[in-house]
Structures are given as structure tokens and as C-alpha cells.
Chain A
Amino acid sequence: MQRACAITGAALLLSAMIGNYVNAAEVKGMTWLAQETSTWTETKAKLQSLGEQFPTSEALFEHLRKEASDGTSLDPAALPDWRGVWTRTKGGLSFDPDLKASDGATSATLTKAGQEAVDKKIHTLTVKGGEYDRISACSPPGTPRWITEPFLKEFVVTPDQTWLMNEMVNDVRRIYTDGRAHSAAEDSYPSWNGDSIGFWDGDILTIHTKYLREGDYQRGLQPDYSDQVELVERWHKVNDMTIEADTWAFDPVNLAKPWYTRQSWTKIEDPDHVLRLRYWDCGENQNNQVIKTEEGTSQFSDFNFVDDDAAVSSDPNVKRAAGDKAKPANQ
């Protein structure tokens, strides 16, 4: 922990020394920095640099709140219109939508511990050829991973709360914008989506999230995050079909610097209103039971359309699963 903090401090100092330091005043008056193709590399670097000027996520959040003069109250009669059904615009499962396969595993600047975790995943995937995703049994993805998940999303704005909902695992992030502070530290504990507070500045929603559980930004080679990860987000509907969010992840265990990314979601054209967000339950269909193998990869358990899975499968894990099922529960 101390080592990670030292690395973060050194990175901040080095950043300032080499002139990559952008004064907060430079982005002080921004309402939103557009993602123009021709200038996005520079703009992204500027937003990354903004995050690096603050030692903690709360310092960045408080800076943004001060710049917004503590934010504005939403008029119940004129709420931001975030209606509709949305899905992630680009990036696949990559936390950084700009990351290309040729760029390597991540655009984050990792600590030694963070890099070791990624190296371990490289080893697992190259040697074993597969992995087990912890959400295979409908465990919540958690935040920040929530951001990368595909499928349908709905965003509900009310004067006092905004709900960011994903069809996947019936997952709802509640953002309290009524001026309340975070839960008291002594009464808080790590949870899947943590504790989120925020404020509106016109039609921009700024969010601070803490008290999160450890996890991974996504499966594959993407980094892990610790239960010290905290997130600052600025959400903005940039046009009728697009909502974007600047995100800065702070994690002294895995990240040597705050990790800036811009996320986006596209509204799905649904003039006949046929789409529905349906409940997710991995137990609803026997054929969706995914087990973790002894090697740490993934396998289906028994199918309901195969008479004797253990007899026809070449996988000892399937045979073992079938054997376990045959044993009485008290043995």
C-alpha cells in the first residue's frame, strides 16, 4: 500500500517535471470537451492529465463540484431527457473503448502489483486456453466493470436520484443527487456498486463512487481493481442518440496513475417499443449452468437435452460434476 502510494506520488511528480502537466484552469471552464476524431488524442491526454493533478478521486470530485458552484437543482418539470434503451457504442468488452488489439492489454498505467495480475492472466490464457468469468453464475459484475457490460441499459433521471440500469443481472446503480454526503466511513463496507453521490451542472451529471468491492475491469487481459478503487464520472447526453461519460478510476493498489477513459452509449432505435429489459436468473434454464473446471477454465454442467452427459463428454470436470450430483447431499 505504502509502495503503491509512493509510486503514485512519483508518477505525479514525474508528470509535472516532463511538462505533461496541464493546469486545472485549462479545463476549468469546460462544459464538455467534444470527442472529435481529429483532436481526440490531444483531448484525451488533457483529460488524463486533469485526473493526474489530484491525489485522490475525492479531490478531483470536489474540484469539479467547486467549478460547478456546487451544482444545480433539477427542475422536476424539465428533467434531462435520457429516455430510451441504450447499448454500449464501441470497445466491445474493453474498458478503454479506444484500445486496439495492437496496443497491448490495457491503456492504464499499472503498479507492479497491477502488472503482475495482468501477467498472470496472460499466462493463464496462453497456457490453459481459457478462463472462468466470475459472473458466469450471474454474480454481479460490480462497478467499475458495470461500465463495460453490453446488453440493454436504461437511464432514469429524477430530481433527487439517477438510476443507471443494466439488463444484465438486473443491475442498478443509484446515484444520489440530493446533496447528501457519502455514507459514514465507519458504517460503510465494500459493495458491488459502492456508494455513489453526484451533482448536476446544467445537463452534466458528475458522480463520485467509493466503497467498492475488488474485481476486474472485464475478463480477458484487463486489469484488476482493489476494494480501494474509486471512480469519478461526468455523464452528458451529447446528442439525441449518444450519451458519453468521462471516467477517472483511482486505485492505489493497481493503478500508478488515475486511469482516464471516455465511455459512450448509443440509443437503440425502437419506434414500436418492442424492446424490454428482462430479468436475469442463471438458474432459470439448466443449460446455462457454467462450472469452473479444475484447470480454472469454463465448462457447461449437465444439459437437459443430453441423456447422460458424463458418458458422452470427454471432460473429466463434466464427469465429476455428474458424479457429485449423484451423491447424497450429506456426503
Chain B
Amino acid sequence: MIPNLKSTVTKTLLALGGVSVATTIASAHHSGAMFDDQKEVTMEGVVKEFQYTNPHSWLLVDVTQPDGSTTTWGFEAEGPSTLLRAGIRKSDLLPGTKITITGHPMRDGRSAGSWVKATRGDGKQMNPKPMGNFALPKQ
């Protein structure tokens, strides 16, 4: 028997964000256990490839390291229909596009994370969550 059951449940639900809409969109298809949601990493790079796929999209970004080498980072988001509702089209992030991107990193050290927010080189914000009940964000 687990002591203080309701307290434990509440804490666990709150920790998991189990009933928040935001969490629904963040990881509705698989558990987000592989990401460390207590950490964020931000980096500048150029888009290598935008894998606009179901059930999840991946934005691959080449990041130049201090020693001059390049590391490819992958940032996971929801699939195309969710990205579209967030105003992010496949053509918005063509290879070579400059970008500053923030994500929750993988716990295991691989160069990947869940996409939290990004800013394209021209200043356009790229938040992968829908901003309303619209097929495309209203201007």
C-alpha cells in the first residue's frame, strides 16, 4: 500500500502535467520520459533537413562546435497538422535556413531534444504548439 495515496497521485499528476492541454500537444503519441523537461538547451545553427512526418516531425539542425566540427541535432515536434496549426509550414524551414532553437534535451546524451521554441534568422517565431482553434494562426 502506498502511503498518502491522494497526495502522491496529485504530485504525480502535477509532475506529469497529466491533465494539461499543453502536455497533450507536447507528447500525445509516446511518453516523454526520454526528455529531461527540467532542462533546456539553446543553440544556433542551420537547418539540415525538416522531416515533416507523422506521427512526429523532426527538425535537423547543424550546429558548429567550438573546435570547428559540426554536430547534427534533432528536435522532435508533433506531426504536420499540429505544426500547421502553429503556423509552421514545411517550406518555412528549408535547408540552409539560419535558426536559434530551444529544446528539452535527451537524458541519455544524444544530440536530440523536444522542440520548445525557435526563432528563424529573419526573426520569425517558430513555436510548435497551436495558438488557437484555427487551421493557421490568425495574423
**Chain A residues at the B interface, C-beta cutoff of 8 Å:** 85, 87-88, 90-94, 99-102, 104-105, 119, 122-123, 125-126, 129-133, 135-136, 138, 149-152, 167-168, 219-221, 241, 266-272, 274-282, 284-285, 287-288, 290, 297-300, 303, 305-306, 309, 312-315, 318
B81 touches A277 (CB 8 A): yes
Contacts of B10-50 to chain A: CB distance below 8 A: 10, 12-14, 16-25, 28-31, 33-34, 48
Contacts of B1 in A (CB 8 A): 119
Residue of A nearest to B28 (CB): A150
Identify B84's interface contact among A274, A303, A318, CB under 8 A. Answer: A274
B74 touches A150 (CB 8 A): no
| Most chain A beta-carbon contacts within 10 A, residue among B17, B110, B133 | B110
Residue of B nearest to A307 (CB): B72
Identify A313's interface contact among B2, B12, B108, CB under 8 A. Answer: B108
Question: Can you name 5 extra interface pairs (CB under 8 A) apart from A104-B9, A150-B24, A297-B33?
Answer: A104-B6, A105-B9, A122-B5, A275-B135, A305-B112
- Given the known interface contacts A221-B18, A287-B51, A303-B74, the answer about A122 and B29 at a Cβ–Cβ threshold of 8 Å is no
Which interface class (under 10, 10 to 19, 20 to 34, 35 or more) fits B? 35 or more
A288 touches B56 (CB 8 A): yes
B51 touches A269 (CB 8 A): no
Main secondary structure of the interface of A (DSSP, over half): loop
Contacts of B79 in A (CB 8 A): 151, 278, 280
| Most chain B beta-carbon contacts within 10 A, residue among A133, A152, A305 | A305
**Chain B residues at the A interface, C-beta cutoff of 8 Å:** 1-2, 5-6, 8-10, 12-14, 16-25, 28-31, 33-34, 48, 51, 53-56, 58, 60, 72-74, 76, 79-82, 84-85, 106-112, 133-136
B9 touches A314 (CB 8 A): no
Contacts of A94 in B (CB 8 A): 18-19
Contacts of B109 in A (CB 8 A): 312-314
- Given the known interface contacts A305-B74, A313-B109, the answer about A268 and B134 at a Cβ–Cβ threshold of 8 Å is yes
B31 touches A268 (CB 8 A): no
Q: Provide a sorted-by-A list of 14 A–B residue pairs whose CB atoms are within 8 angstroms.
A: A87-B133, A92-B20, A93-B19, A93-B23, A104-B9, A122-B9, A133-B31, A135-B30, A151-B28, A269-B134, A275-B135, A276-B81, A287-B76, A305-B112
Identify A285's interface contact among B5, B20, B53, CB under 8 A. Answer: B53
Contacts of B73 in A (CB 8 A): 305
Contacts of B19 in A (CB 8 A): 91-94, 99-101
B107 to chain A, nearest CB (A): 8
**C-alpha spacing A306/B56, complex, angstroms:** 18
